[in-house]
């Protein structure tokens, strides 16, 4: 267990040299969900500082990973939070981390990007534009959500596959990325704008 940088009262089970989490994915490197990524960290900090963004609203956290953003939304007073991920180990990590922080987060093991917008008010997505394959499905899905009237907030440090249009910056933060260490980088919270008719 380790505190989240900048959110020290929020703790997550995280990878460390002796955790051997890489064995879950058949290698030495720990899986992606065992770290706080820059975009998710910026988004979680934003929700903590601006709880009205999700308070009393139904929230879906797409590509939840460790559950950091989902937990921040639950702590900010969301009416309900569903953490969605395609990795069964990530879904298990979300459940453990939510319990550790005393919040209720429902989990869903699925690739939601091929379907319609969820029955929710807010869709959160931290660090979901890290590869072209993921961006090809995630971007259009999030756009469908915004076009359907859902608030869509994205946390990202400006990775190469982040959409170049249709995003409005709502916050900027200096955070560390999953690689660890003391170096920080700028990360942003964006709101996806609906497509204009």
pLDDT digits 0-9 by tens, 143-159: 999 999 999 999 999 99
CB 174 within 8 Å of CB 184: yes
Which pLDDT does position 22 carry in this prediction? 56
Q: Does pLDDT of 136 surpass 80?
A: yes
Percentage of the chain exceeding pLDDT 90: 75
Can you tell me the distance from the alpha carbon of 130 to that of 137, in angstroms, rounded to the nearest whole number?
12
Within 10 angstroms of residue 81's Cβ, the number of other Cβ atoms is 31
Pairing type for strands 185-192 and 7-12 reads unpaired
Domains of the chain (ranges, CATH numbers): 36-192 (3.40.50.150)
Structure confidence at residue 182 as a pLDDT band (50, 70, 90): low
**Mean per-residue pLDDT, 134-151:** 96
Which pLDDT does position 6 carry in this prediction? 87
Can you tell me the distance from the alpha carbon of 34 to that of 67, in angstroms, rounded to the nearest whole number?
10
Task: Give residues with Cβ within 8 angstroms of 184, minimum separation 6.
Answer: 174, 175, 176
CB 151 within 8 Å of CB 117: no
Which pLDDT does position 171 carry in this prediction? 97
CB 93 within 8 Å of CB 72: no
Which pLDDT does position 31 carry in this prediction? 65
Sign of the Cα torsion 147, 170, 70, 27 reads: positive
**Mean per-residue pLDDT, 119-124:** 98
Integer CA distances (angstroms), 75 to 9, 72, 179, 196, in order: 11, 5, 26, 34
Over residues 21-43, the pLDDT tens digits come to 655 556 656 666 777 889 999 99
Structure confidence at residue 17 as a pLDDT band (50, 70, 90): low
Integer CA distances (angstroms), 120 to 79, 108, 135, in order: 10, 14, 22
Q: What angle do CA 68, 107, 59 make, to 5 degrees?
A: 65
Integer CA distances (angstroms), 125 to 59, 73, 97, 173, 186, in order: 11, 12, 18, 16, 17
The mean pLDDT of the chain is 90
Integer CA distances (angstroms), 37 to 126, 138, 178, in order: 8, 17, 5
Structure confidence at residue 65 as a pLDDT band (50, 70, 90): very high
């Amino acid at each position: 267990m380790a505190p989240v940088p900048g959110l020290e009262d929020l703790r997550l089970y995280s990878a460390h040299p002796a955790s051997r989490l890489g064995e879950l994915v058949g290698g030495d490197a720990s899986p992606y969900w065992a770290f706080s990524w820059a975009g998710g960290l910026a988004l979680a900090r934003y929700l903590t500082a601006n709880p009205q963004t999700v308070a009393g609203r139904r929230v879906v956290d797409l590509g939840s990973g460790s559950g950091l953003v989902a937990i921040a939304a639950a702590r900010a007073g969301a009416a309900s939070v569903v953490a969605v991920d395609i990795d069964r180990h990530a879904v298990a990590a979300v459940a453990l981390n939510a319990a550790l922080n005393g919040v209720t987060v429902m989990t869903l093991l699925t690739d939601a990007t091929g379907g319609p917008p969820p029955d929710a008010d807010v869709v959160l997505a931290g660090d979901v534009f890290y590869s072209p394959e993921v961006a090809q499905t995630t971007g259009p899905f999030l756009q469908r959500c915004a076009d359907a009237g859902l608030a869509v907030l994205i946390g990202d440090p400006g990775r190469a596959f982040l959409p170049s249009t249709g995003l409005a910056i709502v916050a900027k933060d200096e955070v560390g990325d999953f690689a660890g260490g003391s170096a920080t980088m700028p990360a942003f919270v964006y709101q996806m704008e609906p497509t204009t008719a």
